[in-house]
Chain A
Amino acid sequence: MSESALALFLASHATELGQKTVEHLLLTGISTGLAIGLGLPLGVLVAKNSLVRGPVLGIVGVFQTIPSLAMLAFLLPLLGIGFKPAITALTLYALLPIVRNTYTGLAGIDRDIIEAAAGLGFTERQKLLLIELPLATPVIIAGIRTAAVIGVGIATLSSFIGAGGLGDYINRGLAMNNTQLILLGACSAAILALIIDFLLGLLGRALRKA
């Protein structure tokens, strides 16, 4: 395809591409957000309570091992088709890196720092908010980055259950045997993943300086 033909192809899909990208961002953003809301407290719980550590890490680990298409298929009879089952599946996938990194970040803090906080009379809450979470932040952000990037990739599959997003192009391209459409979906998703990873990296660096 010549350069002008590529430009023409992109121009003819520009409006739709924007819409699909927004859908894709919503799928990834909402699911990663939910996974942060759920995974951060779970990670703290797992770090503080050795009794639930094994079971919780085990369960969120199992989600990760279920192939994404199979997960979507499992959720079909439970939640039907569309946005809801897709968000559920993506959230479950995003949980593991966030829970595990929160735990790793908290567990990796120098024992002397924890002892100093205890000796100075911090309450558990003060210790968590003022010392532990700030010090674990770089590791937690790394987990969120992983979750978001995986999310962008898996979100392309949610098109199969009618949740929209850039996967629609891949789906349509496969059905119509149209390589250009497949590439449009795949390349856009890849570029989106790189941009999100870059932005979250910047956020992590900004937080470390703050």
Chain B
Amino acid sequence: MIRMQQVSKTFDHGQTFAVQEVNLEVADGETLVLLGTSGCGKTTTLKMINRLVEPSSGIIEVDGRNVMDCPLQKLRRNIGYAFQGVGLFPHFTVGENITIGLRLDGRPKKERLARAREMLALVALEEEFIDRYPHQLSGGQQQRVGVARALAGAPKNLLMDEPFGALDAITRDTLQKEYLKLQRELNKTVIFVTHDIIEALTVADRIAVMHAGRIEQVGSKTEILQQPATDFVRHLFAKPAEQLRDYWEAMHE
């Protein structure tokens, strides 16, 4: 479980807030999507959980423990993290990339190899990828390896920051569907950041809409769609419909 209480972040000693008084609770096995336009503070919110960004105030708990009391390396080793940039290590093979966390923990080579194979199967990559280098993979394959690496340490919690953001629409769709399948199997506690409304509706159990550093509304998909709490939420979700209408009209001109 992940809990945030009155969490704020300022980068300029309180003049402006990137994130302001955020309260969130993500239940075990739930996928909560943080949805918002760019610059709304969703990534900063996410990064405060594994302390890639230090919160200015408020309390963040992961599985009942205040993250500020956890040794930094241990905290991060126990939270999977996948992001749009992927950040695969170019001088390591796919297998070495996936199991780097286990290597840091001093796990034996045999165990790491077995784990790498298991993870590749999990993200639907063939076993022969194990000895390839990141630059030999397509964008979608790289992102799969990134997710495999985030999951290799068997963390209970997972942070995903627009993991499919850099992919083409078709690959993204495939990966979203596979993510859903995977999540049904693994039951991780996930916070998933995206600006893509359709993606949010696809992967979310619940959605938290963020705007200008604050949470506008948290709720199930139906709640947010049927009872938008603010004008911002209403407009945000009206957008895809508007775009579809334009698209439809263009097709029938």
Contact = CB atoms under 8 A, between A and B. Distances in A.
B76 A119 contact: yes
Nearest to A115: B87
Nearest to A114: B87
Contacts of B88: 113, 116
Contact of B87 (A113, A126, A130, A134): A113
Contacts of A121: 72-77, 101, 104
A123 B73 contact: yes
Interface stretch (B18-26, B78-86, B198-206): B78-86
Contacts of A198: none
Nearest to A122: B104
B89 interface: yes
Nearest to B105: A121
Contacts, number: 59
A117 B100 CA distance: 9
A131 interface: yes
A134 B90 CA distance: 10
Nearest to B51: A118
Contacts of A135: 90-91
A120 B90 contact: no
B104 A126 contact: yes
B76 A120 contact: yes
B90 A117 contact: no
Nearest to B50: A119
A110 B90 CA distance: 10
B214 interface: no
Contacts of B81: 116, 119-120
B97 to A, nearest CB: 9
B42 interface: no
Contacts of B238: none
B211 interface: no
B87 A116 contact: yes
B101 A120 contact: yes
A112 interface: yes
A119 B100 CA distance: 12
A126 B72 CA distance: 14
B142 to A, nearest CB: 11
A123 B101 CA distance: 11
B9 interface: no
B149 interface: yes
B87 A112 contact: yes
A134 B91 CA distance: 8
B186 interface: no
A115 B83 contact: yes
B114 interface: no
B77 A118 contact: no
Given A119-B81, A120-B100, A126-B104, A112 B86 contact: yes
A114 B87 CA distance: 7
Contacts of B87: 110, 112-117, 119
A76 to B, nearest CB: 46
B124 interface: no
Which of B87, B89, B146: most chain A Cβ within 10 A?
B87
A113 B89 contact: yes
A119 B89 contact: no
Contacts of B154: none
Interface in B103-160: 104, 146, 149
Nearest to B81: A119
B52 interface: yes
Contact of B83 (A114, A117, A119, A122): A119
Interface of A: 110-123, 126, 130-131, 134-135
Interface of B: 50, 52, 72-77, 81, 83, 85-91, 100-101, 104, 146, 149
Given A119-B50, A119-B83, A120-B77, 6 more contacts: A116-B149, A119-B81, A120-B104, A121-B72, A121-B76, A130-B100
| Nearest 7 pairs of A and B residues by beta carbon | A116-B87, A112-B85, A121-B76, A119-B81, A112-B87, A121-B77, A121-B73
